[in-house]
Chain A
Amino acid sequence: DAGVIQSPRHEVTEMGQEVTLRCKPISGHDYLFWYRQTMMRGLELLIYFNNNVPIDDSGMPEDRFSAKMPNASFSTLKIQPSEPRDSAVYFCASSSQRGGLETQYFGPGTRLLVL
């Protein structure tokens, strides 16, 4: 398996622009997580899905952030409009709760810089 795939790996954009981050989870995994990592706040859970349904979005910082999972193999995290304080590394992770195997597998991350 190729693991969790994220694109793009790096994104530089200007304040006010829309940013879309993409994630392909590991095939067969029924949970998908979006995290954000910054030096100040560490690694924070933004939102997670189970079977394509958003379960908890309490970590989403504000209405500028939205996430979707239209099918089991694809998810997006969108920021509109972007602001400099959104600069961070965004990770996607997936896991399977079947058989008690609950380890989360992380993608390589998308490094976002908003100027």
Chain B
Amino acid sequence: KQEVTQIPAALSVPEGENLVLNCSFTDSAIYNLQWFRQDPGKGLTSLLLIQSSQREQTSGRLNASLDKSSGRSTLYIAASQPGDSATYLCAAATEWGAQKLVFGQGTRLTINP
């Protein structure tokens, strides 16, 4: 059974810093790994999706990497801004095509002005 873990559960950093959020998964036979953002009281917004054959994906100030052999993914946020404050969740797709996602518990990120 796939299990996804995110460490730390919460992170607070000053504005402008670069930071890394971590995600680990127990079963390396994943189809893809996705990173989502969730604002308080809102739904999830997809940030990046990395296929199992890829090593990383980039979107603006965000870069996500995937290392299947070690069961890890990281989300790198460059030059953090207060608007980046949110909960970030990673999710591993365990079946081809159907995207049966298994989510981590999330990292609550606070960027202090």
Binding site for B on A (CB under 8 A): 4, 31, 33, 42-45, 48, 50, 55-56, 91, 93, 95, 97, 102-109
Task: Indicate whether B89 reaches chain A with its CB closer than 8 angstroms.
Answer: yes
CA–CA, A48 to B32, complex, Å? 18
Partner of A104, one of B42, B99, B104: B99
Check B43–A43 contact: CB distance below 8 A: no
Number of B interface residues in the complex (CB < 8 A): 22
Q: Shortest Cβ distance from B23 into chain A, in angstroms? A: 13
Residues of chain B touching chain A, judged by Cβ–Cβ distance below 8 Å, are 32, 34, 36, 42-46, 49, 89, 91, 93, 97-106
Set of chain A residues within 8 Å of B34, measured between Cβ atoms: 103-104
Contacts of B97 in A (CB 8 A): 97
Task: Determine the chain B residues whose CB is within 8 A of the CB of A45 once the complex forms.
Answer: 100-102
Which 10 A-B pairs rank lowest in CB-CB distance, beginning with the nearest? A106-B43, A43-B103, A106-B44, A103-B46, A42-B105, A108-B43, A109-B43, A102-B99, A107-B43, A103-B49
